[in-house]
Amino acid sequence: MSWWRPQRRRPSPEAGIGARRERGGSGWGWRIQVISAFLAIVAFVFLLGGKVEGLFGNEGEVRLEVAEVGIKNVPAQFTTVGYAESEQVASTEPRIEATVRNRGDQTAWIEEARVTVLDSVHIRTCINQGGGPEVPRTDPYEVELPDFPVLDRRVIKRDLHVEVQPGRGARPVLTLHNGWTEATNLYALRVQLVAGPGDHLLNLGRFVVGVPDPPDRGGQVFPESNELFHDISRPGETFSSSCFRHNLEGTHRLLSQTGERSAYVGAFSHIELASAWEHYASHGPAEVEVSELLDGPFAEAGIYAVEVAERTGDEAFAARVRARAVAWILRLGREALDEESAERAAEDAEMALSLQGSPAARRLLWRAEAAERAEG
């Protein structure tokens, strides 16, 4: 069995990006294709009924109305760019859009999109075997979401420049991105537009969305495939079982929140666990599991170790493990920076900050971001 660490840079299909879309081939492939084809029809764009925001302003002023809010969140497709990288096909990028109509007699401008990350869960692979008349859409405005949101970076602002003339409408389109390709983040988001003159807030609502796409259903992200478990050479391996638990618990937490979602994401409310899962899952003492998790090369294991400790209900033990995990993640981050991998160091710093506000983590993040800028 081999393991890898997700990287921000998008590898070529030869480097393994294609494997992500082909996993779960042991009896699952044709089922997934049939289900995906059906869901693609249902989930292409989910439109909310009715208006989200009423009119505001007086006669002779800007009077805006928001309606027909839509979310698109389907499995990603990738295309090769150059020799060593690939990028997501634009039509499969997660997107949120809404129609804004101007009922007043002055031209209005949509000046900013404001996206607040209310909650998120980082989901990685745990096993590796290989209404109204049409209005013009804007060009997509990319919104970069943090992989591991920290408290002072949960509100993402994106400048827009969308003109809405009196008696007309426009449909701003926001596409959602983050830095990972071998993993998915589920986000609970609140999305607002800032319109002027007057800096009015237009509320588009709350959403649950997977970026760069909904998590994979081949059995390597959630413990759904008995066949894959039977092929595992080291049953009960602590990292993969903790990873599965993290993915399951985080997904359940995100789906319990209020927010519109595509049919693909909504389907995770009905995960059927493999019968072999309970036999495979770790059941050892928490202290042993924590030690095993913090004795490997995977920074994400620090998050899993904290979750193991918190399940015991022992707050003092959980606090000790949290401090130990943060120190361990930062050590990996400093090593990455010494190896001139600034992106990986920044990821580790963000991961540590998502667990605990640490001056050392902030210093590492500043150094890593400075190194990224220097690299261009």
pLDDT in tens, 270-295: 899 998 888 888 778 999 999 999 98
Residue 6: pLDDT band with limits 50, 70, 90: very low
Longest dimension (CA), the chain: 72
What pLDDT does residue 150 have?
Answer: 76
Burial of 263: CB neighbours in 10 Å, binned 0-12, 13-18, 19+: middle
Length of the chain counted residue by residue: 376
Helix, coil or strand: residue 47: strand
- C-alpha to C-alpha distance for 217 and 203, rounded to whole angstroms: 33
CA-to-CA dists, residue 252 to 270, 271, 357, 372, angstroms: 10, 10, 26, 35
Strand ranges inside the chain, DSSP E: 46-47, 51-53, 64-72, 78-81, 85-88, 95-102, 108-124, 141-144, 155-164, 169-170, 173-177, 183-196, 200-211
Rg (C-alpha) for the chain, rounded Å, is 22
Give pairs for 37-42: CB < 8 Å, separation 24+.
39/74, 39/263, 39/264, 39/267, 40/74, 42/263
pLDDT tens digits, 91-128: 999 999 999 999 988 899 999 999 999 999 999 988 76
Mean residue pLDDT of the chain comes to: 81
- The answer to whether residues 14 and 120 touch, using CB atoms and an 8 Å cutoff, is no
- C-alpha to C-alpha distance for 51 and 199, rounded to whole angstroms: 20
Which pTM value belongs to this model?
A: 0.81
Give phi and psi for 280, each to the nearest 5: -75, -35
Give the bridge partners for 120, in sequence order. Answer: 187
Burial of 11: CB neighbours in 10 Å, binned 0-12, 13-18, 19+: middle
Residues contacting 174, CB < 8 A, separation 6+: 95, 96, 97, 113, 115, 140, 141, 142, 143, 158, 191
What pLDDT does residue 284 have?
Answer: 82
Residue 3: pLDDT band with limits 50, 70, 90: very low
Give the bridge partners for 46, in sequence order. Answer: 71
